[in-house]
Amino acid sequence: MGVMATIIGSERSEAGLPAGMDILACGGSALDAVEASLRLCEDNLDDHYVGTGGLPNARGVVELDASIMIGSSRAFAAVGAVKGYAHPISIARAVLERLPQHCLLVGEGAELFAEEQGFERAQLLTDESMQLFRDGLLPNVDAVEGENTVAAPGDNVYRLAAIDLVRRFRPHDGPWGTINVIALDESGELVVGVSTSGYPWKYPGRVGDSALPGSGNYCDVRFGGAACTGRGEMSMRVSGARMVVDALARGEAPNDACRTLLQEAATLADTFRAELRTLCLTPDGRHGGAAGQPGSTYGVMTTARPDVEYFRRIVA
């Protein structure tokens, strides 16, 4: 029997999973499915953690990270801290296909490459995300400067207030964070894609785990693909996605493999380590997910089940 095409994604990936499933159901590639899914998530203006409408950095500028990894070749490509382009996942794919000597472009270089490849510039900061940025910052602007000044976004007052806010960042209620999508196509190819606007109010130039192979994204078609969302610094410190795939390679079941990462992360000191979440998909279509806090889910679609089915992540 052949492989059953499957696509899974983290919270809020349902904005894109059906489009990815349509591609897989027609015999399309996992690479196309992952890119198409994430592009729609990047276009979702209600989502403030990815693409257009994502929350900006400390200077009020949206900076995006994205990566894509192919399970059969372990080819990896990513962009980090990209400003002014709406679809970082497609720029990452362009790096993969048109600049295969490189795995990661950041900042100005990534933007130059995007321009040369014909990507159109876009305004990423929406009125709503700007308002959320200002609302989050206002008490801190006061705290840092000692006066109730609303300075112009981008100036030093904002930058210092944002750094203070990042230091005191509070865990969120409800689904938030980076979007992970993993697809298995009927040829047996497995692809992992990740896209994010990163940590809200982050220091300009901060790149998270989403752009780093082995941290936020890892894929080996022999064992599985894994991705992380939430507190990227934790998955960077333990090489999280690679740790999940290594556990699958040792024969651990998908949920157990995800738990292995979270338990390792929990051994490290970090106020927000419980914010880390992960999910994985194996080449035979098994999947799992784990989170440091209860109430987290992931979505699954297969050719046999065309609606998004939600699975609870185990709490590790």
Residues contributing to the site for ligand GLY (CB under 6 A): 178, 196, 198-199, 208-210, 216, 228-230, 232
Nearest in space to 211 (alpha carbons), one of 93, 78, 82, 83 = 78
Residue 178 annotated among the catalytic residues of the structure: yes
Residue 250 DSSP SS3: coil
- Min separation Cβ 141 and ligand GLY, Å: 24
- Min separation Cβ 49 and ligand GLY, Å: 8
Active-site position among 6, 52, 178, 260? 178
**Which residue has its beta carbon closest to ligand GLY?**
232
Contact at 8 Å (CB) between 5 and 302? yes
Q: Which is nearer to ligand GLY, 217 or 302 (CB)?
A: 217
- Min separation Cβ 197 and ligand GLY, Å: 8
Q: Measured between alpha carbons, how far is 248 from 226 in angstroms, rounded to an integer?
A: 10
Contact at 8 Å (CB) between 25 and 307? no
Nearest in space to 6 (alpha carbons), one of 266, 291, 286 = 286
Q: Which is nearer to ligand GLY, 5 or 227 (CB)?
A: 227
Run of H or E including 299: strand 297-302
- Min separation Cβ 202 and ligand GLY, Å: 8
How would you class 105 by CB atoms within 10 Å of its CB: exposed for 0-12, middle for 13-18, buried for 19 or more? buried
Q: Which is nearer to ligand GLY, 65 or 186 (CB)?
A: 65
Q: Which is nearer to ligand GLY, 177 or 299 (CB)?
A: 177
Q: Which residues are catalytic?
A: 178
